[in-house]
Amino acid sequence: MFREKIKVLDCTIRDGGLMNNHNFTHEFVRAVYKAISEAGIDYMEIGYKNSRRLFSPKDYGKWKFCDEDDIKRAIEGVPSKTKLSVMVDVDRVDFDDVPQKKDSIVSMVRVASYVKDIDKAIFLVNHFADKGYETTVNIMAISRALDNELTEALHQLEEECKARVIYVVDSNGALYQESVEFLVKKFKSILKSKEIGMHAHNNQQLAFSNTIEAIIHDANYVDGSIYGLGRAAGNCPTELLLGFLKNPKYDIRPILDVISKEFIPLREKLEWGYVIPYAITGILDEHPKTAMALRESNKKEDYREFYEGFLGDDTD
Amino acid sequence: MFREKIKVLDCTIRDGGLMNNHNFTHEFVRAVYKAISEAGIDYMEIGYKNSRRLFSPKDYGKWKFCDEDDIKRAIEGVPSKTKLSVMVDVDRVDFDDVPQKKDSIVSMVRVASYVKDIDKAIFLVNHFADKGYETTVNIMAISRALDNELTEALHQLEEECKARVIYVVDSNGALYQESVEFLVKKFKSILKSKEIGMHAHNNQQLAFSNTIEAIIHDANYVDGSIYGLGRAAGNCPTELLLGFLKNPKYDIRPILDVISKEFIPLREKLEWGYVIPYAITGILDEHPKTAMALRESNKKEDYREFYEGFLGDDTD
């Protein structure tokens, strides 16, 4: 038996782009889009709508900006019922870069926000909703949110925000399943008119199980990425999610194929997934950026020193 | 807050030995024993007590047989409070190979058994218990057990068996957390005089979360392996388990060190951990042996064909 309301969003290109400055080729994006479409996945997030005033196209690939023409070039001619999504960060978007929905190939705009920025997030979401898009708010670094501030933010979202879905985002890969249960139940108790989403990171190999846990407690929007490709330890593997979900509309085989053909060669050039420094930042509920820097250094396997570096912080 | 009764058993050398015919060097075993001892881990499983009449020492390394002299050579001089464990399979052990406990450096004998062999397992366990050992029964392939047969086996274990601990063993890496909850609750409801253990495999990246789930429902014996080293997709990573458990007697740092120094170089020579063929056997609740064979073949990345091979089985 399956729950028809569950929607899968594959964020491979968007979250994976954080590992290569969004420099995927059109051919790679096309292969991923084709696999996701054939697999029957509901949404594909193709990148960010970031401002060119803040980020230079010299430093970043096209999926940092997601121009309509680039998207069209990557996907045209591929039969698909998959809707496209783009992500927007608070304070990093130019409104004029996002056209009216009727002039766009994109269906959904997801706004990523910390709890402290929720007023800005609501303003953004309502703007994009008024342009005709489906919208969501993705509350990042939720493991670090103070409960009273989160409660207030959720009430604001319920009362003032046009987003249909509010996501729990475990940016640090720090949550255990009991905390996922706590958070999803909390979200549901306040966000009575909205759906709950789950976006997990895999620092402690818990992205898939935390996504299942969210589903158990009635989250209906779940993010996956193919072979887990995403920032640092990556995300909930889409292939495992499809193996778990029983909706006959999903087919795992195109995902298996694209891993064979595209992701195994890519893995030779680009590192993501479970390594000890990401596990350490997950265990300590720290942002993975220090671990990502370590992996680029000549101390990439010096785990004890890296771990002890956190213990030495002054904390009074 | 921690639960003092929780005991961690590291099975790196025993389960990992299934990937290299138990051919770890004395030096490697010594480094692992030293790390486990310094980390404060309760038990280390060092290998099998398999019969030399059934398995030739020409084909297998010393940790398939675990002679007292080999164990002593690997560990002598290392300060340690860690107890040693060996595993015994039904129908593969010679009683005479296992001395009286008073003449052995080993503290615990774990008997691995399918539900169908539970009578033999009980006979073995009672024999080793009478020799003075701590004993457990590890019920393998539990995801394939019929509920009525499992119920009968658990009643027999409660009534006839001297083992202090009975393990849920997810040999296929097929369990999701709801089934772990179901099984641990079932075990506890029948095995009123015993402790429950959890031994998980990581085919679907669920070994750690399933171990947490078992702990939540009062399993007090949990298996880990360093960097997940174990058969196929491997086991619950010991480093993640120590990061989760709050008992101050555990120290993750020696485990981090031994991964840096021993496991990163080993990983260049030996494959274990999450790859798609192991995920497929986990999703389909199949034994990983077919996936292990695939990884040794020239079709190691042909996932779709491998997946479809299972779908083609006659099932009437």
CA distance A228 to A207: 9
Q: Is A10 helix (H, G, I), strand (E, B) or coil?
A: strand
Summarised one tens digit per residue, pLDDT across range A194-215 is: 999 999 999 999 999 999 999 9
Q: Is A8 a residue whose pLDDT tops 70?
A: yes
**Cβ contacts of residue B312 below 8 Å, gap of 6+?**
none
pLDDT bin (cut points 50, 70, 90) of residue A18 is: very high
Q: Scanning every residue of chain B, which has its alpha carbon at the shortest distance from the alpha carbon of A263?
A: B301
Would you state the structure tokens that stand for residue A226, as one six-digit string?
């193919």
Summarised one tens digit per residue, pLDDT across range B134-148 is: 999 999 999 999 999
Would you state the structure tokens that stand for residue A297, as one six-digit string?
């250094």
Q: In the prediction, which pLDDT does B314 show?
A: 63
How many residues comprise chain A? 316
In the block, which residue shows the tokens 């889409």? Answer: A238
- In angstroms, what CA-CA distances link B189 with B41, B93, B144, B158? 28, 31, 20, 11
pLDDT bin (cut points 50, 70, 90) of residue B246 is: confident
Residue whose C-alpha is closest to residue A78's, from A116, A122, A117, A31: A31
- Which chain B positions have a beta carbon within 8 Å of A212's beta carbon? 176-177
Q: In the prediction, which pLDDT does A224 show?
A: 98
Four-residue CA torsion sign, A124, A129, A131, A134: positive
CA distance B80 to B21: 27
Q: Which of B175, B225, B240 would best serve as a mutation to test chain A binding (most A beta carbons within 10 A)? A: B240
What average pLDDT does the segment B57-83 reach?
97
Q: Is B309 helix (H, G, I), strand (E, B) or coil?
A: helix
Q: Is A1 a residue whose pLDDT tops 80?
A: no
Using left for φ > 0, alpha for ψ between -120 and 50, and beta otherwise, residue A40 falls in left
Q: Do residues B278 and B203 make contact, with C-beta atoms less than 8 angstroms apart?
A: yes
Q: Is A10 a residue whose pLDDT tops 80?
A: yes
CA distance B283 to B172: 9
Measured between alpha carbons, how far apart are the two ends of chain B, in Å? 52
Asked if B207 has any chain A CB less than 8 Å from its own CB, the reply is yes
Q: What is the pTM of this model?
A: 0.97
Average pLDDT, chain B: 97
Cβ neighbours around A130 below 10 Å, total = 12
Residue whose C-alpha is closest to residue B35's, from B59, B1, B8: B8
Q: Per the CB < 8 Å rule, is A264 touching B301?
A: yes
CATH architecture assignment, domain B7-269: Alpha-Beta Barrel (3.20)
* A-contacting residues in B 262-301 (Cβ below 8 Å): 264, 273-274, 276, 279-280, 282-283, 301
What value, to the nearest 5°, has the Cα angle with vertex B281 and ends B280 and B283?
65
Summarised one tens digit per residue, pLDDT across range A218-268 is: 999 999 999 999 999 999 999 999 999 989 999 999 999 999 999 999 999
- In angstroms, what CA-CA distances link A25 with A28, A61, A71, A150, B209? 5, 9, 11, 39, 35
Q: Per the CB < 8 Å rule, is B205 touching A202?
A: yes
Q: Do residues A71 and A106 make contact, with C-beta atoms less than 8 angstroms apart?
A: yes
DSSP bridge pairs for B223:
B9
Q: How many CA atoms lie within 13 A of A134 on its CB side?
A: 15
- Which chain B positions have a beta carbon within 8 Å of A304's beta carbon? 253, 256-257, 260
pLDDT bin (cut points 50, 70, 90) of residue B237 is: very high
The domain limits of chain B are: 7-269, 276-311
Burial class (CB in 10 A: 0-12, 13-18, 19+), A192: exposed
Summarised one tens digit per residue, pLDDT across range A127-178 is: 999 999 999 999 999 999 999 999 999 999 999 999 999 999 999 999 999 9
CA distance A280 to A290: 10
What value, to the nearest 5°, has the Cα angle with vertex B52 and ends B49 and B57?
100
Q: Is A314 a residue whose pLDDT tops 80?
A: no
Give the gap in angstroms from C-alpha A215 to the nearest C-alpha of chain B. 12
Q: Is A219 helix (H, G, I), strand (E, B) or coil?
A: coil
Give the gap in angstroms from C-alpha A312 to the nearest C-alpha of chain B. 14
Q: Is B316 a residue whose pLDDT tops 70?
A: no
Q: In the prediction, which pLDDT does A246 show?
A: 87
Give the gap in angstroms from C-alpha A65 to the nearest C-alpha of chain B. 32
φ, ψ of residue B179 to 5 degrees: the values are -75, -30
**Cβ contacts of residue B201 below 8 Å, gap of 6+?**
B170, B171, B172, B173, B207, B230, B231, B232, B233, B234, B235, B282, B288
Using left for φ > 0, alpha for ψ between -120 and 50, and beta otherwise, residue A267 falls in alpha
Query: Which CATH code, of 3.40.1710.10, 3.20.20.70, 3.40.50.300, 3.40.1280.10, is assigned to A7-267?
Result: 3.20.20.70
What value, to the nearest 5°, has the Cα angle with vertex A302 and ends A300 and A305?
130
Measured between alpha carbons, how far apart are the two ends of chain A, in Å? 52
Beta strands in B204-284 (DSSP E): 221-224
Helices (H), chain A: 12-16, 26-38, 68-75, 118-130, 147-160, 177-190, 207-216, 238-244, 253-258, 264-267, 276-283, 289-295, 303-311
pLDDT bin (cut points 50, 70, 90) of residue A180 is: very high
Q: How many CA atoms lie within 13 A of A226 on its CB side?
A: 33
- In angstroms, what CA-CA distances link A149 with A115, A144, A188? 7, 11, 16
Q: Do residues A300 and A224 make contact, with C-beta atoms less than 8 angstroms apart?
A: no
Would you state the structure tokens that stand for residue B61, as one six-digit string?
């390394």
Q: Is A303 a residue whose pLDDT tops 70?
A: yes
Q: Which of B276, B297, B307 would best serve as a mutation to test chain A binding (most A beta carbons within 10 A)? A: B276
Q: Do residues A15 and A230 make contact, with C-beta atoms less than 8 angstroms apart?
A: yes
Cα torsion at B284, B289, B291, B296 (round to 10°)? 180
Q: Do residues B282 and B201 make contact, with C-beta atoms less than 8 angstroms apart?
A: yes
